[in-house]
Amino acid sequence: MQKLTDARNHLLASGLDIKARDLLTFAEKGSIVAYQGTDSQNRNFKIQYVAHLIITDYAGDPQNLLFVMTDWIDANVPDRNEEALKFHVDVISTKSADVSIQIELSDTITVEPVDGGTNLDHQPDADVRAIDMGNFYPDLD
């Protein structure tokens, strides 16, 4: 679950003073999508899950966390829907809150046989925004 790890690392490096001990991460509602066919040549698969990132005793404004994560989602989840990020804030005192962030994620894994075993490789998501539509529609401005 590479994206969950990447999201965690993004929060830790965000400059919001989040400590690793205060950041819980886990995945739930996981499923595997695999279209392997009858000849077993295509062993690739997709892992789909709901990622949870829980920041405990967060002393900053929760909107700062949400802003940081919307930027991460924009860069890393190109096929997301408009409500890809959900959250829950539990105000525990006048100085801090526990903030839970949920994101629907998927990781595409390619499978290749190699000498002595199998290589599993995480693939980046296709990003329709990166397609130069001018190649398909030359008169498009």
Domain 2-135: give its CATH architecture.
2-Layer Sandwich (3.30)
**Widest CA span in the chain:** 61
The pLDDT-based confidence of 5 (bands split at 50, 70, 90) is: very high
pLDDT of 97: 95
Distance CA 115, CA 43 (A): 17
Q: Is the pLDDT of residue 8 over 80?
A: yes
In the chain, the amino acid numbered 118 is T
List 110's β-bridge partners, or say none: 121
Q: Please, how many CA atoms are within 13 Å of residue 87, restricted to the half-sphere of its CB?
A: 18
pLDDT category of residue 134 using cuts at 50, 70 and 90 = low
How many CA atoms, within 13 angstroms, populate the side-chain half-sphere of residue 141?
A: 0
Spatial separation of the C-alpha atoms in residues 16 and 79, rounded to whole Å: 27
Q: Measured on CA atoms in the order 131, 68, 109, 38, is the torsion positive or negative?
A: negative
Asked whether residue 131 carries a pLDDT value surpassing 60, the answer given is yes
Q: What is the CA radius of gyration of the chain?
A: 19
Q: Judge whether residue 130 has pLDDT over 70.
A: no
The pLDDT of residue 43 is 85
Give 76-108 pLDDT, tens digit per residue: 988 787 888 999 999 999 999 999 999 999 999
Per domain, the residue ranges of the chain are 2-135
User: pTM for the complete prediction?
Assistant: 0.81
The length of the chain, given as a count of residues: 141
